[in-house]
A and B are shown apart, each in its own frame.
Chain A
Amino acid sequence: MKIRTFLYTLWQGIRNMFKNGWYTLASIATIGACLFLLGMIYSIVANAQHILYTVEEGVSITVFFNPEVTDEAIDAVGQEILKRPEVRDIVYHSDEEIWATFGPSYFGEDYQEGFPENPLEGEHNYEVFLRDVSLQDQLVSWLETKPEVRFVRYSQITASTFSGVNMMLVYVSAAIITILLAVSIFLISNTVRVGITVRAEEIGIMKYIGATDFFVRAPFMLEGIMIGLIGALVPLYLIRYLYDYVINMLTTRFEMISSILSFLTLEEVFRILLPVSIGIGVGMGFLGSFITVRKYLKV
């Protein structure tokens, strides 16, 4: 395509937008409303998952060793544990360290008096932090097969609760987002169809004169892309202010919440939301125009 023709096409696309002002507004509003809802749901779900993940990070399992196991063997087991895909990190706690931690809390500052020897001798252990608590059972089963390991302490309820909540969040958010996308596609294709039906005659004339499909389609495509882009940017702009406002309100007015829960920053939310929203908006505008114009090109 020559530059002159491209510029003409671009100009026609922009012109079409203003020429069909109400249709343009309706399309932008439809895309905008759908993407706004999508953005809101995503922000809530992403934060819920982030909170869950933060809490999950603190969940650990503890691995105790048989008394006859040497320090070298414990080191070797530690290396093996670290290599496991379920494991994010491990921390070794020696007998002395454990006594120094628990002694004061149970017996006060003079906890060593009356205990000439460490009463927690042999309680040295690895505290193992998981990448994903749903993988806990798998790791525990493996650990329990190790001859060096005496006992593995873990909470079955905590793990299954986290896994359950996590899965529920994934399913619920996937369902909501799928429904929203389906509704968006329906609304947008209807709006585009109405707009193009109005111009069916114009498309027919172009085809009779000898315009190629591309020449007819290009202004509609560009119009669709521009509508999609504006339809995506408007809700993103709104969500940006709304998100900051809500997070500020939660952390300043309800200080207790902010001390327990940590929220994602706007940048973290937008890292995914921005390209996804623009992609969906532009994609819908493009596809909506492409599919609908195709029907009228068979002249």
Chain B
Amino acid sequence: MTRRERKKAERDKFIEENGIIFLDDVSMSYPEKGNPAVKNVTLKIEKGEFVFIVGDSGSGKSTLIKLLLRELIPTGGDVYVMAQNTRKLRHSQIPKFRRNLGVVFQDFRLLKDRNVYENVAFAQRIIEVPSREMRRNVPSILSMVGLAGKYKANVRKLSGGEQQRVALARALVNKPSILLADEPTGNLDPNNSWDIMDLLAEINEQGTTVIVVTHSPTIVNSMKKRVVAMRMGEIISDEQEGEYVNED
């Protein structure tokens, strides 16, 4: 068996057994920048894991999320998400692929001209969920994030914490296998930050794989989860119940 064949066999075994994300020697360079944003990263994440990806600004965390979302195609190596090589996805296959990924951003990215209900229902409309089912699913997820009473409110009138809960509800309503959260507490005060983190932990307990990109040591160190630390595009440590010291 050659080296390549052995690597392939290992990867297939990992995906087959319990793997949900596999980054195989992944590099990503932007043409306009000199140094690669991500350099020879190999990372395995199993189903149901809660993983923090930490690092200073420019360490490659957000590029990693973009690679997982198939917003970017790696310049080297392969990204496997739910056994699919993102490089091999055709443009028309990307929407269906993304429906298995819930995404939450630091700036919430809500549809500002619509109310809470419409923002969450939008994710269901995209996959053409029948109206009757939608009317059941949306209130249920809104009550899970604690916004059942505010379903008619315009999202612009909500606090930052509430807006992030709407974004979370939208990310979860289609029951994704993986939840990607890019600095979900970056724009929130400590109380709201903890509320969001508690929600993410609860979602994880229900079986969803959660990947949180952050540079908040307080949150990372108190959650006692797996921590993948990055610097200059490379993984410098990967520990269960790891700790993080922000050097920014």
Contacts and interface: CB of A to CB of B under 8 A. Distances in A.
A213 B98 CA distance: 13
A89 B113 CA distance: 69
Given A19-B113, A299-B71, A209 B123 contact: yes
Nearest to B100: A210
Contacts of B125: 5, 8
B111 A210 contact: no
Contact of B127 (A206, A210, A213): A210
Interface in B104-125: 109-111, 113, 122-123, 125
A215 B126 contact: yes
A245 interface: no
B69 interface: yes
B105 to A, nearest CB: 8
Contacts of B95: 207, 210-213, 215
Nearest to A202: B111
Contact of B103 (A2, A208, A215): A208
B131 A209 contact: no
A73 to B, nearest CB: 75
A222 to B, nearest CB: 16
A201 interface: yes
Interface in A159-212: 201-202, 204-212
A114 to B, nearest CB: 96
Which label, helix, strand, loop or mixed, suits the secondary structure of the A interface?
helix
Interface string B58-82: 0000000000010100000000000
Contacts of B32: none
A5 B128 contact: yes
Contacts of A8: 125
Given A201-B109, A202-B111, A208 B69 contact: yes
B98 A210 contact: yes
20 contacts: A4-B130, A4-B131, A202-B111, A205-B109, A205-B110, A207-B98, A208-B69, A208-B103, A209-B123, A210-B95, A210-B99, A210-B123, A210-B127, A210-B174, A211-B95, A211-B126, A212-B126, A213-B91, A213-B95, A215-B95
Given A8-B125, A19-B113, A209-B98, 18 more contacts: A2-B128, A4-B128, A5-B125, A202-B111, A204-B109, A206-B122, A207-B98, A208-B69, A209-B103, A209-B122, A209-B126, A209-B170, A210-B99, A212-B92, A213-B91, A213-B92, A213-B95, A215-B126
